[in-house]
Amino acid sequence: MATENVFSVPDYIVFAAMLLVSAGIGVYYACAGGGQKSTRAFLMADNSMSFLPLSLSVLASFFSASTLLGTPAEIYQYGSMYWMSIIGACLAPVTGALLFGPMFFSIKVVSVFQYLELRFHSKSVRLFGAFIFLLRTSIGMGIVLFGPSTALSAVTGFPEWVVIVLVSSLFCVLFSVTGFPEWVVIVLVSSLFCVLFSVTGFPEWVVIVLVGAVCTFYTTLGGLKAVVWTDVFQTAVMLVGMLTVLIKASYDLGGMSNVWQTCYHGDRIDFFDFNPDPRIRHTFWTLTVGIFFVWLPPYTVDQQMVQRFSSARSLREAKLALLLNAPGMLIIITLCSLTGLVLYARYADCDPLTNKEIENPNQLLPYFVVDVLGHLKGMSGLFVASLFSGALSSVSSMMNSLSAVTWEDFLKIRLSHFSDRKAVLVTKLLVLLYGCLGVGLAFLVKELGGTVLQASLTLNGAAGAPLVGLFILGACFTTTNWIGALTGAISGLGFSLWLSVGAYVTRPLNFKLPASIEGCNVTGNATGDIVTTTSFPVTSTTMMTYNSTYSPSDPDQLEGVENLYGLSYLWFSGLGILVTVIVGLVVSLATGRTDEADVKEEYQLHLFQRLRDCLLCRDDSDSNYAVTDECALDNPEKVFTLEVTVTDQEASTSQVNGSASGTNETPVLPKA
């Protein structure tokens, strides 16, 4: 890079303050109210969370550093079309709030996969769903950890004292899960890193370890409450950082009107391409319909979402938390998209990728901040803090949800004799274990090559689609049996993986928009290589570094089933869901369908009932399938006992009154 490290004392102060506040929240909730003494307190926050922190926490969990880095890079290389994704993306949290969320809230599950066993009476279906989640989330955690490391290592360096302060926070983790005295751990960790960084710089692996260490620290100590409130803080840091960069950069470029004109003349402004060809990478249809199915898994059946939804004080607050994610997504995607336009306006005549100033598109935004805004004291620190906030918020949520699923689905039955105190210790050990696993997987992602954004959707489409299909089979089709559900999920997973791997191998042709280097001194020879990149969770299935050379396949030359490889990657998730549902229904019919009477009302989605209530502006509390919020608040674990008791009393009263009045009306439960 042409620009050397410009980190100053104010930058270090801003960056260190963000990490220290995040760690401090974990310490506070580890001690507040006597600490995390039960697994429900550690994993579900004792069902005490209000809608605003929950909403910001969910938003932060699904918008990581990959979004902050990838969306501007997408706009820079492919134009403004991606902004249209807000239509389909914003429908996903609405679907979760009005349909799937209330069903999960009513049964108060810690692990979302408990529902699968309750619905299908099969441990195999539950464990297979949990396995897909663990695989998907573990690899996703490695991708998120690697994101900021590859960008920051290319644009900045850190002195040893900062690293010592950050990594010494590991002593809290070690002290919380071992019997070592605090001072011993502090001396050991600090001494190790004093020696290490006196002879080395600040490579990528250190960034990976730092992010993983801080996340593991506050997640292990504070549980879900710490994760939620840290997410709130980190969301604020992300928004302030991106907004500051956008305002200052657009001002230096003469305002957004000048930015818009430059982008327009560079063919970066395009919003309405209604071409129905499904092979075209981005059109209005792929970015509205296709992307809806991409965002559907995280906002409907993802453990992180369900865990937060079920930790709310009431169903009304839980639904409001998800509904507020729609405007939140609009704000974040718009900010990142505008930042991408500013990037192009700045480098319209001197593309740093072609000019070999940076190695991959993930480094565009960090390069811009250091190159253009680095002279402002504290600006680089604020930007780095926003990137780390994005990574921390996502990884901490992943750690907590991984711990919850592993305990509830795999260990709880085998360790049923454990006291609550021991169970909490096990869940904390699981957080520590997954933290180490995420760091290791981040190194693996680094070796694979390509952008973190491209890896994101490959993983999300392959594993998220069969999970959604599995829950649709259980909640929407009462005839589905466990054999059909399991077969459908396996088929959907296999189909999605086949599409993803096939598209990677054949590499259908996808051109980025042209870039110029006429306005700069070329420091390297541009090879005209093609690069494909986009933003989380919407990523191309083609994984390669910017300077890699390959021979892509023309979609028109693909034959037979290979034509599917030429489809836009945004259709992969929807196709995976469709295959899962169709195979599940066919196999269920062939092996003996489930009797509708055997499926409890609370395990059904009640799709038409909920849509009717939504159109009539009725709250779920008016429906017979709704859970009583007051009961859920007082004693979440016994909500069904309380609800059934009240319902029986009301039914008895109704029958007595009916006899007295000469009628025999009894309550009728709605059908799915």
Measured between alpha carbons, how far is 159 from 378 in angstroms, rounded to an integer? 16
Residue of higher predicted confidence among 240 and 623: 240
Q: What is the mean pLDDT of residues 481-499?
A: 93
pLDDT of residue 184: 38
pLDDT of residue 468: 94
DSSP state of 97: I
Domain boundary among 391, 419, 448: 448
pLDDT of residue 372: 79
Q: What is the mean pLDDT of residues 379-386?
A: 77
Domain CATH code at residue 31: 1.20.1730.10
Which of the four pLDDT bands, split at 50, 70 and 90, describes residue 73? confident
Query: Residue 396: which domain range?
Result: 9-158+202-448
- Tell me if 62 is assigned to some domain: yes
- 78 has pLDDT over 50: yes
And the tokens for 212?
């993983």
Highest mean pLDDT of the ranges 27-31, 205-209, 496-500, 530-534:
496-500
- Secondary structure of 152-198 in the HEC alphabet? HHHHCCCCHHHHHHHHCCHHHHHHHHCCCCHHHHHHHHHHHHHHHHH
- Write out pLDDT tens, residues 474-488: 999 999 999 999 999
User: Hey, how many other C-beta atoms are within 10 angstroms of the C-beta on 663?
Assistant: 11
- Tell me if 234 is assigned to some domain: yes
pLDDT of residue 178: 36
Residue of higher predicted confidence among 170 and 310: 310
And the tokens for 453?
């954004």
45: left (phi over 0), alpha (psi -120 to 50) or beta: left
Residue of higher predicted confidence among 313 and 43: 313
- Write out pLDDT tens, residues 392-411: 667 767 877 888 888 888 89
- Tell me if 299 is assigned to some domain: yes
- Tell me if 175 is assigned to some domain: no
Measured between alpha carbons, how far is 136 from 113 in angstroms, rounded to an integer? 14
Which of the four pLDDT bands, split at 50, 70 and 90, describes residue 115? very high
Measured between alpha carbons, how far is 262 from 79 in angstroms, rounded to an integer? 12
- Tell me if 300 is assigned to some domain: yes
Domain boundary among 448, 475, 490: 448
pLDDT of residue 624: 47
Measured between alpha carbons, how far is 113 from 471 in angstroms, rounded to an integer? 9
And the tokens for 297?
């898994």
Burial class (CB in 10 A: 0-12, 13-18, 19+), 60: buried
Residue of higher predicted confidence among 614 and 372: 372
- 156 has pLDDT over 60: no
pLDDT of residue 417: 87
And the tokens for 581?
């549902």
Contact between 96 and 61 under an 8 Å Cβ cutoff? The reply is no
pLDDT of residue 176: 36
And the tokens for 113?
């996969």
Highest mean pLDDT of the ranges 242-246, 383-387, 618-622:
242-246
Domain boundary among 448, 483, 509: 448
- Write out pLDDT tens, residues 314-342: 889 989 999 999 999 999 999 999 999 99
Which of the four pLDDT bands, split at 50, 70 and 90, describes residue 627? very low
Beta strand spans in 390-494 (E): none
pLDDT of residue 527: 35
Measured between alpha carbons, how far is 266 from 255 in angstroms, rounded to an integer? 17
What is the pTM for the complete model shown?
0.73
Residue of higher predicted confidence among 268 and 514: 268
Residue of higher predicted confidence among 591 and 667: 591
pLDDT of residue 292: 93
- 632 has pLDDT over 70: no
- Write out pLDDT tens, residues 433-446: 887 787 777 777 66
Average pLDDT in the chain = 72
Letter string b/e over residues 497-533, b meaning 16 or more CB atoms within 10 A of that residue's CB: bebbebbbebbbbbebeebebeebeeeeeeeeebbbb
- Write out pLDDT tens, residues 210-228: 555 554 554 444 455 666 7
- 285 has pLDDT over 60: yes
And the tokens for 122?
């099969």
Highest mean pLDDT of the ranges 177-191, 255-269, 514-528, 621-635:
255-269
- 501 has pLDDT over 60: yes
Q: What is the mean pLDDT of residues 493-498?
A: 89
Contact between 407 and 134 under an 8 Å Cβ cutoff? The reply is no
Highest mean pLDDT of the ranges 28-37, 447-456, 590-599:
590-599
Q: What is the mean pLDDT of residues 527-534?
A: 34
Q: How far out from the chain centre does Cα 557 lie?
A: 36
Measured between alpha carbons, how far is 359 from 313 in angstroms, rounded to an integer? 48
Residue of higher predicted confidence among 38 and 493: 493
Burial class (CB in 10 A: 0-12, 13-18, 19+), 554: exposed
- 650 has pLDDT over 60: no
Question: Which of 352, 468, 441 has its CA nearest to residue 112?
Answer: 468
Report the percent of the chain where pLDDT is more than 90.
22
pLDDT of residue 181: 38
Measured between alpha carbons, how far is 426 from 403 in angstroms, rounded to an integer? 9
Residue of higher predicted confidence among 605 and 32: 605
Report the percent of the chain where pLDDT is more than 70.
62
pLDDT of residue 207: 52
- 49, β-bridge pairs: 312
Question: Which of 499, 394, 518 has its CA nearest to residue 457?
Answer: 499
Lowest-confidence segment of 38-42, 335-339, 583-587 by average pLDDT: 38-42
Q: How far out from the chain centre does Cα 558 lie?
A: 33
- 671 has pLDDT over 80: no
- Tell me if 43 is assigned to some domain: yes
Q: What is the mean pLDDT of residues 372-386?
A: 78
- 95 has pLDDT over 90: yes
Q: Which residue has the tokens 């270090």?
A: 12
pLDDT of residue 347: 92
pLDDT of residue 574: 92
- Tell me if 493 is assigned to some domain: no
pLDDT of residue 62: 78
The one-letter code for the residue type at 290 is G
pLDDT of residue 7: 62
Number of domains the chain is built from: 2
- Tell me if 132 is assigned to some domain: yes
Q: Which residue has the tokens 């453990």?
A: 303
- Write out pLDDT tens, residues 191-212: 334 333 333 334 545 555 555 5
- 105 has pLDDT over 70: yes
Question: Which of 60, 481, 406, 490 has its CA nearest to residue 233?
Answer: 60
- 38 has pLDDT over 70: no
